[in-house]
Amino acid sequence: MSASRHPALLATDPELASFVAAEEVLQAQTLRLIPSENYVSAAVLEASGTVLQNKYSEGYPGRRYYEGQQNIDRVEALAVERAKGLFGVDHVNVQPYSGSPANLAVYLAFAKPGDTVMGMALPMGGHLTHGWGVSATGSWFRGVQYGVRADTGLIDYDAVRDLALAERPKLIFCGGTALPRTIDFAAFAEIAREAGSILVADVAHIAGLIAGGAHPSPADHVDVISTTTHKTLRGPRGAMLMCREEHAKAIDKAVFPGLQGGPHNQTTAGIAVALHEAAQPSFVSYAHAVVANAKALAAALLQKGFDLVSGGTDNHLILIDLTGKDVPGKIAAKALDRAGIVVNYNTVPFDPRKPFDPSGVRIGTPSLTSRGLSTEHMPLVADWISRAVDAAAKGDEQALAAIRAEVTDLMAAFPAPGLPLA
């Protein structure tokens, strides 16, 4: 593998080109289990690196503040139409730069500083932008937070309802970043209706599963759907806001001119391609395979004696609670990395440890499924994880190196989309 895949970059800036080439090798040779990551196709990569990069186009198709938008308008309109068809929604804005700005635009559209907003607590599996204290959303707004039950690890919808009725928040967010179970959008909708709140489904993690029919859709239940485009949806790093027609103006105005300037047109093009790919029958198979792999991996990990938050998974994500293994999440994650298995350390609900050194490890199956690994490989993946955690406990670097060699071997047999062959 060499940097000659990018000859102009290599000629102009060999140092930077060498970093990119090294990243290509790393992504090709490792088992990537971070549930918010994926491999985009070569087509998405190409679309994201086009001359659309050269354009400014503040405004929306047909209503721009710059001339020369003949082609840009068509690109953005195509992305919007594809998203509307795929997710069954009235209105889509494809301009948010990423998930956090998309969520901030929702606040701008519906709330005023100081208003009460409600979301899942970050350590319980929520997201920073759902009103958590260290985020602007938690300091400019009054965040009240719900969590999961200690005995089941599942969202306690009665407690969510009690909190919503007591606080009457302007906004309620459902969804998060470490939720291994199906979100009951209908239950949240009923609660939001009773509380008089705008309901926002942040489906960043599961958008691809929804598109592929492997997770229920929030489209009929919520006011706004917020999503990134680069996780299970397998597009470039960007975001979309989707809503019913009645909220279209408020959302568009909040994104531009409320929060952002010119959209990143090269990203919009990549999103359009990813949406086209996600509308194909093969993506339905992909989404279901992601879930099947996650369930098979969870079952294999349970057999190896791991504790999983909520006892398993319904989606693409597994949260391993390492409390019983006496290896904290960070030490395990770093050892797994040395073994060629890339994960992130994560808090578990009611974690006695601090977020920068928590008790859990978060894993997921979107990337390995994109490479074609199937349920038959999941016992081997669980075995590697188990051996690496044991090796971490013993400080056995040789064992980690041996796992890394096995991982590299298997990955060579499953080329990654968008990457050169190792």
| Contact call for residues 118 and 172 (beta carbons, < 8 A) | yes
Catalytic residue among 39, 177, 181, 202: 202
Whether 249 is a known active-site residue: answer no
Q: Indicate the residue among 78 and 363 with the shorter CB distance to ligand DSN.
A: 363
How does strand 341-342 pair with strand 31-32? parallel
CB 259 within 8 A of CB 100: no
CB-wise, 99 or 263, nearer to ligand DSN? 99
For 294: left if phi > 0, alpha if psi spans -120 to 50, otherwise beta; the answer is alpha
- Residue facing ligand DSN at closest CB distance: 36
Give the Å distances, CA to CA, from 253 to 56, 164, 250, 261, 402. 18, 27, 5, 11, 55
300's enclosing H/E stretch is helix 281-303
Q: Minimum distance from CB of 415 to ligand DSN (Å)? A: 25
Residue with tokens 């090269």: 266
178/259 with CB nearer ligand DSN: 178
Could you tell me the smallest distance in angstroms from the CB atom of residue 99 to ligand DSN? 5
Q: Which residues bind ligand DSN (CB under 6 A)?
A: 36, 99, 127, 177
CB nearer to ligand DSN: pick between 69 and 315: 315
Strand ranges of the sheet holding 307-308, from the earlier edge strand across to the other edge: 307-308, 317-321, 360-364, 344-346
* Least distance to ligand DSN, CB of residue 106, Å: 15
User: Annotated catalytic, 202?
Assistant: yes
Q: Name, in order, each residue with C-beta under 8 angstroms of 226's C-beta and a sequence gap of 6 or more.
A: 99, 102, 103, 106, 175, 200, 201, 202, 203, 204, 239, 240, 241, 242
CA-CA distances (angstroms) from residue 148 to 130, 138, 159, 359? Answer: 15, 20, 9, 17
Cβ at position 98, least distance to ligand DSN in Å: 8
Q: Is 56 a catalytic residue?
A: yes
Name which of 64 and 234 has its Cβ closer to ligand DSN. 234
Q: Within 13 A of 201's CA, how many CA atoms are on the CB side? A: 26
Q: Which is nearer to ligand DSN, 164 or 361 (CB)?
A: 361
Cβ neighbours of residue 198 under 8 Å, at least 6 residues apart?
A: 110, 170, 171, 172, 192, 223, 224
Q: What whole-number distance in Å separates Cα of residue 107 and Cα of residue 127?
A: 14
Check 5, 37, 46, 58 and give the catalytic one: 58
User: Among 142, 237, 244, 338, which one carries the catalytic annotation?
Assistant: 237
Catalytic status, residue 231: yes
For the four alpha carbons of 403, 406, 412 and 417, in that order, the dihedral sign comes to negative
Told to judge if 67 belongs to the known catalytic residues of this protein, a careful annotator would answer: no
User: Does 394 qualify as catalytic in the annotation?
Assistant: no
Tell me how far apart the alpha carbons of residues 9 and 25 are, in angstroms, rounded to a whole number. Answer: 17
Least Å from the CB of residue 153 to ligand DSN: 18
Q: Out of 64, 82, 161, 231, pick the active-site residue.
A: 231
Cβ 328 to ligand DSN shortest distance, Å: 19
Catalytic residues: 56, 58, 202, 228, 231, 237
